[in-house]
Chains A and B, each alone.
Chain A
Amino acid sequence: MIEVKGVNKAFGDKQVLFDINTIFETGKVNLIIGQSGQGKSVLAKSIVGLHEVDTGEILFDGRDFTKMNNWERKEIRKEIGMLFQGSALFDSMSVIENVMFPLTMFTKMSKKELHERAEFCLDRVNLAHAHKLFPSECSGGMQKRIGIARAIAMNPKYLFCDEPNSGLDPKTSIVIDNLIREITYEFNITTVVITHDMNSVIEVGDNILFIHQGENWWQGDRKSIIKTENEEILNFVYASEFMKEIRASMQTARG
């Protein structure tokens, strides 16, 4: 479980996050949603320590990340897996080397064990055949899956996914969403996903945090977000004409 308590963050004069309080529960897919430029990525990067928060606490199963020294943070980070928006795979390494990388850095596994674990992770994301390829030889969807395989290689307690569906077609997006959900349930991970993708919200959002103008505007699950009357959320969820029509027809059907 990750608890965020009273987090504030500013860049110079510009306040980006205002007193964010939330809990990301273990074994659930927690989504951070909101329009662009509202502070979603800043919140996620603040949680994992890529940005320092100005005030507030971030507790990883009760351990306050903001009060830790570099060495303690390093130890916590070994429990974190992250899938980046652009996958952030290492260009100079093959697919299997990318997946093995955190293991070679932080474990004392033998070569055989390293390969077995990396193969298991690649198999888990249905890429058992892609060992020898290089990232540049893989499609966007494959790169995301390799990113997930690398993120779970160390058996993380916490998984962060920054816009995992960006740049992917709807079908591949569903594959990635399902994969994230399956992995979360299978390994009982605290998963935090930043997304714009409404399909992901409806498909996998066990716990949804809506950030608006840097504030925790709304929090609930995927059933309640469809029923909410909160104007900002409605503007976000039903932004397109198509979605507006769906909503109108749903309302008509309800009478």
Chain B
Amino acid sequence: MLGIVFSKPEKMKIFRKRVFNEMQIIGINSIPIVALMSTFMGAVIALQTASNIDSPILPDYTVGYITQSSTILEFSPTIISLILAGKVGSNVASEIGTMRVTEQIDALEIMGVNSLTFLVLPKIIAAIFFFPILVIFSMGLSMIGGWLALTLSGLLTTETYIFGLRSFFEVYNIFYALTKTIVFGFLIVSIASFYGYYTKGGSLEVGQASTQAVVSSSVAILIANFVLTQLMLL
């Protein structure tokens, strides 16, 4: 399937239009949920870290450092990707599955359009391009969420928190997080497209395909996360 997906599109102008359209659906439309999740996630990480650090040996700025590192290394790329597996994965599988059962894919094939390239490739490109942007956005908002929670509750000063965020910062961690995100984005869209494209039956099967897509892509994300961590961090 992937071999056909990556073949040359029939018309680049239409293909570009479809890529931008998918960026809107997959990327821009996901901003509200990512923003909400990230802010609260960052706030909770910061509060839990602050409440669990009661050793006098550990400096206060450790809260900022832990918020930064856990957000960059794991929470933003993995948790946000799992959320997107639910939102984007079900959307992609149900859209393509509905097109399959209503013969829209057959219509494309009859016209001589390579339906896999036409339908799936723009989604993969949009996800690979936009997921890292969403994750960078998520990282920023998580840290802001942490800052808001700590300062509003009076647990930490702004200066101490920012000092913690900047402590032991490694650019490689960003590279690692974004690499993971690109892989996750590819997995989510390609797995969801696979389940949608090979749907047989009617609306019940479209629903089943959508559920299967979310479950399988979530499992794939967890396995890929483990493998990539082994390869890139150890």
Q: Collect the chain B residues with CB atoms within 8 Å of residue A88's CB.
A: 102-104, 106-107
Q: Collect the chain A residues with CB atoms within 8 Å of residue B111's CB.
A: 77-78, 101-102, 105-106, 154
Chain B residue with minimal CB distance to A74?
B112
Contact A50 B113 (CB under 8 A): no
Q: Collect the chain B residues with CB atoms within 8 Å of residue A77's CB.
A: 109-112
Chain A residue with minimal CB distance to B17?
A104
Q: A90-B107, A91-B104, A160-B110 are in contact. List 7 more A-B contacts (CB 8 A).
A: A50-B106, A50-B109, A73-B112, A84-B103, A88-B107, A101-B111, A106-B10
Q: How extensive is the interface on chain A, given as a class?
A: 20 to 34
Distance of A154 Cα from B112 Cα, bound (Å)? 12
Query: How many Å from the CB of A12 to the closest CB on chain B?
Result: 14
> Interface centre among B102, B103, B112, by most A CB within 10 Å?
B112
Distance of A16 Cα from B11 Cα, bound (Å)? 37
A26 interface contact, C-beta 8 A: no
Contact B106 A105 (CB under 8 A): no
A231 interface contact, C-beta 8 A: no
Query: How many Å from the CB of B177 to the closest CB on chain A?
Result: 33
Q: Collect the chain B residues with CB atoms within 8 Å of residue A101's CB.
A: 111
Q: Which of B14, B104, B110 contacts A48 (CB 8 A)?
A: B110
Query: How many Å from the CB of A78 to the closest CB on chain B?
Result: 5
Chain A residue with minimal CB distance to B110?
A82
Contact B110 A104 (CB under 8 A): no
Distance of A241 Cα from B156 Cα, bound (Å)? 87
Distance of A105 Cα from B111 Cα, bound (Å)? 9
Q: Which of A50, A90, A106 contacts B110 (CB 8 A)?
A: A50
Distance of A106 Cα from B102 Cα, bound (Å)? 23
Q: Collect the chain A residues with CB atoms within 8 Å of residue B98's CB.
A: 91
State whether A105 and B11 are in contact (beta carbons under 8 Å apart), knowing that A48-B110, A77-B112 are contacts in the complex. yes
A75 interface contact, C-beta 8 A: yes
Distance of A104 Cα from B18 Cα, bound (Å)? 13
Distance of A104 Cα from B15 Cα, bound (Å)? 11
A166 interface contact, C-beta 8 A: no
Chain A residue with minimal CB distance to B25?
A92
Contact B10 A84 (CB under 8 A): no
A86 interface contact, C-beta 8 A: yes
**5 closest Cβ contacts across the A-B interface?**
A77-B112, A88-B103, A88-B107, A74-B112, A84-B103
Distance of A73 Cα from B10 Cα, bound (Å)? 14
Query: How many Å from the CB of B22 to the closest CB on chain A?
Result: 11
Q: Kindly supply a per-residue 1/0 record for chain B positions 89-133, scoring 1 wherever the CB is within 8 Å of any chain A CB and 0 otherwise.
A: 000000000100011101101111100000000000000000000
> Interface centre among B11, B98, B107, by most A CB within 10 Å?
B107
Contact B112 A82 (CB under 8 A): no
Chain B residue with minimal CB distance to A83?
B107
A32 interface contact, C-beta 8 A: no
> Interface centre among A49, A77, A105, by most B CB within 10 Å?
A105
Chain A residue with minimal CB distance to B114?
A74
Q: Which of B175-200 contact A (CB under 8 A)?
A: none
